[in-house]
Amino acid sequence: MELLTFLSCLLAGLMVFLLSYTSRARAQATMHQVGDPAVAHRALIENADDFSNRPAAIFPVSLAIWPNGERNDSITTTSYGPHWRALRCNLTAEILSRLGSLEPLQQEAVRALVADVSTAAGGQVTIAGPITAAVFTLASRMCFGDNVDDDCIRTMGQVARDAIVAAEELSPRFNGSTLSKLANWRGFRRISGLVDRQAELYLPLIAARRKSRSPLCGGGVVRPYVDSLLDLRVPEDGGAGHRALRDGELVGLVFEFLGSLSGSTSACVEWTLAHLVDQPEVQRKLRCEIDEVEVLSSKSIRSMPYLNAVVLESLRMHPPVPYILDKKTWTYPDEFRPERFLAGGEAEDVGAAPGPKEIRMMPFGAGHRHCPGMSMGMLHIKHFVAALVREFEWAPSAEDCRGGVDMTEQNGFIKRMKKPLYARIMRRK
């Protein structure tokens, strides 16, 4: 049966290849590696406009089309231009510029995570699962509103994670061509099936929002992302007039929103906790700062310099996107030292975004295509880390007591711990 499936895929693929080869030439893309931070700054910041029309990444673009030919482009796969600007401006104006209104959702997600972790208090816990569940639930409610049940959220989260894992398992030589897809036919077929499954899950929820725009999420405070997409009008393909987004495009944008928001946030929280487990003194200093406030809120969290330094140091060492940074720009680059980001430290003026004069780190990218959700992601990360440190004491597991926490990285679309963090926790009085 597998052989017959392969032969049918091969025949269909060859037909598509012959038709596409005779009708248009394939665009060629090159990759440039920059080792000098000054050169990177000139290319990505000072001369950002010159690189604004660079080709999008081959892999996601190759999936941005349904079998019937309909596009399902997202902000990531759309070429720079009016369509891209419409999508990005909508995300920024409707969601990312209203961070203050997200606090009810953040507080609810934090309470759910603390309750989940509390079941393991007094023992040991693999924290990746609870963190991922809490972050994905938060992202789902921001996207669809309050009327999504827990079972649906769990299913969506599993499908999204399966799609990312399947994509990471493709051959490193995958280049989006028909022949490359044939060489990776099993993996590509699995990914295509998961994309179809996402459509089955998302479209009914989108249809429900189309029929009724109330209630909003977060107790009627936050407008769901899907509502903004339904109201959005993008330039017509021919350039004359504007149109609503098609179902395929809505599915692509929803997957992008859920995947990018939940993946990088959960990874950074886990990395940060791993270093706090490995360095009890850093954990103690952070807890002292957190305990000084009565209520953890967005306002109080923004006034915590050591929490900010801890998160920045985690992002410096483990950026969500696996960039290779020049270690010559840092003192003791392989050591976790949050103090470098405090007043008087070597990086007191360095933040998550590249500076106006130099690039010391860029965990969320740089230039026109940097991650627009950087500020929101930082706030989410700080909320979760602060709550987990305030409520629990974190210590190495029995197997890590001698050798320390295994900080080996696993590079994929997001840089995660190769061995998920397994730690002992005690509930604080």
Contacts 24+ apart (CB under 8 A), 162-170: 162/194, 163/191, 163/194, 163/195, 163/198, 163/255, 163/259, 164/259, 164/263, 164/412, 164/413, 164/414, 166/190, 166/191, 166/194, 167/59, 167/191, 167/413, 168/412, 168/413, 170/59
> Token digits for 357?
């004069």
Which pLDDT value is given to residue 4? 41
Which pLDDT value is given to residue 412? 76
**Nearest one of 232, 251, 254 to 243, comparing CA atoms:** 232
Alpha helix positions (H), 42-127: 58-62, 82-91, 103-118
Q: Is the dihedral of CA 415, 100, 383, 253 positive or negative?
A: negative
- Cα–Cα distance measured from residue 159 to residue 73, given in angstroms and rounded to the nearest whole number: 19
Rg (CA), the chain: 22
Q: Is the dihedral of CA 369, 372, 375, 378 positive or negative?
A: negative
Tell me the sheet residues that pair with 321: none
**Nearest one of 416, 418, 393, 413 to 122, comparing CA atoms:** 393
Which pLDDT value is given to residue 219? 56
- Cα–Cα distance measured from residue 331 to residue 346, given in angstroms and rounded to the nearest whole number: 8
Cα pseudo-dihedral 369, 372, 373, 378, rounded to 10 = 80
- Cα–Cα distance measured from residue 369 to residue 88, given in angstroms and rounded to the nearest whole number: 10
The amino acid occupying position 50 is D
Domains and CATH numbers, the chain: 56-427 (1.10.630.10)
- What angle (nearest 5°) sits at the alpha carbon of residue 19, between those of residues 14 and 22? 120
Query: Per-residue DSSP letters for 237-289?
Result: TTSSSEEEPPHHHHHHHHHHHHHHHHHHHHHHHHHHHHHHHH-HHHHHHHHHH
**Nearest one of 344, 346, 366 to 356, comparing CA atoms:** 366
Q: Which residues of the chain have pLDDT under 70?
A: 1-37, 39-41, 43-71, 170-178, 181, 213-221, 322-325, 356, 400-402
Q: How many residues comprise the chain?
A: 429
Which pLDDT value is given to residue 78? 83
- What angle (nearest 5°) sits at the alpha carbon of residue 397, between those of residues 391 and 398? 140
**365: Cβ contacts below 8 Å, ≥ 6 apart:** 321, 371
Which pLDDT value is given to residue 154? 95
Which pLDDT value is given to residue 137? 95
**In this predicted model, what pLDDT tens digit does every residue of 135-179 receive, in sequence order?**
999 999 999 988 889 999 999 999 988 888 887 776 555 656 667
- What angle (nearest 5°) sits at the alpha carbon of residue 109, between those of residues 127 and 147? 125
**In this predicted model, what pLDDT tens digit does every residue of 258-291 receive, in sequence order?**
988 888 899 999 999 999 999 999 999 999 999 9
> Token digits for 14?
């060859």
- Cα–Cα distance measured from residue 78 to residue 428, given in angstroms and rounded to the nearest whole number: 48
